[in-house]
């Protein structure tokens, strides 16, 4: 079985360019997670590397399948220079380790919460997992392995996260769209939810 991570890193590089920084975090009982930083103009992108090494397993399954199951990496895009967003590396690694630590399957529409600001002074403690396919194309792997999907993360304020729990991810995304919300602004205020 091919090692997935070199293929994933190659896909990230072909889509986003050369990373200008990388950090590695290892949590007790988990595989190492790296976070790569890419800058293009005034946009900084942070991408996890390591989450897709193993397929995510349904927590109700009796046995974890070592080959089949969804594989993902996370991508966060923010405007550069407006906040100390490089401190997001550890929170991102925590989110990327959550399938191994908590047995969750990360999929579009899910909310992921780190419980603390994503970076110093950030108005966000959680993210909405968005649909893949826009920025980094899925990486097909040899059968029977599932492809690696690159899921964008959209930071949410606590009010937005609470509203999303009641009304759903689609409704929150429509509200952002209708109000012209700049989801890459690391200092943005909550969208009007009245």
Q: What is the pLDDT of residues 73-86, one digit of tens each?
A: 999 999 999 999 99
If one counts the domains in the chain, the total is 1
Least confident of 22-26, 92-96, 169-173: 22-26
Q: Is 97 part of a structural domain of the chain?
A: yes
Sign, Cα dihedral of 146, 50, 184, 182: positive
The edge-to-edge listing of strands for the beta sheet with 33-40 is 21-25, 33-40, 43-49, 71-79, 148-156, 126-129, 111-113
The pLDDT tens digits for 2-54 are: 589 999 999 999 999 999 999 988 877 778 899 999 999 999 999 999 999 98
Q: Is 194 part of a structural domain of the chain?
A: no
pLDDT confidence band for 1 (50 / 70 / 90): very low
Q: Is 186 part of a structural domain of the chain?
A: no
Q: Is 193 part of a structural domain of the chain?
A: no
Q: Is 190 part of a structural domain of the chain?
A: no
Contacts of 193 (CB under 8 A, 6+ apart): 159, 160, 163, 175
Q: Domain residues for 142?
A: 4-178
């Amino acid at each position: 079985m091919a090692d997935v991570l070199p293929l994933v890193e190659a896909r990230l590089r072909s889509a986003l360019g050369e990373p200008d920084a990388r950090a590695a975090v290892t949590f007790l009982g988990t595989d190492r997670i790296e976070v790569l930083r890419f800058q293009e103009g005034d946009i900084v992108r942070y991408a996890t590397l390591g989450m897709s090494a193993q397929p995510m397993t349904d927590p109700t399954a009796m046995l974890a399948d070592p080959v089949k199951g969804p594989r993902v990496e996370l991508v966060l895009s923010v405007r550069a220079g407006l906040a100390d967003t490089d401190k997001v590396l550890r929170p991102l690694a925590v989110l990327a380790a959550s399938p191994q630590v908590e047995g969750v399957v990360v999929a579009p529409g899910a909310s992921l919460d780190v419980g603390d600001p994503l970076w110093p002074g950030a108005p966000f403690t959680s993210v909405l997992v968005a649909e893949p396919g826009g920025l980094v194309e899925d990486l097909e792997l040899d059968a029977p392995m599932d492809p690696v999907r690159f899921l964008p993360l959209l930071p949410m304020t606590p009010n937005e996260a609470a509203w999303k729990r009641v009304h759903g991810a689609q409704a929150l995304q429509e509200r952002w769209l209708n109000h012209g919300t700049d989801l890459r602004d690391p200092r943005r205020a909550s969208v009007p939810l009245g």
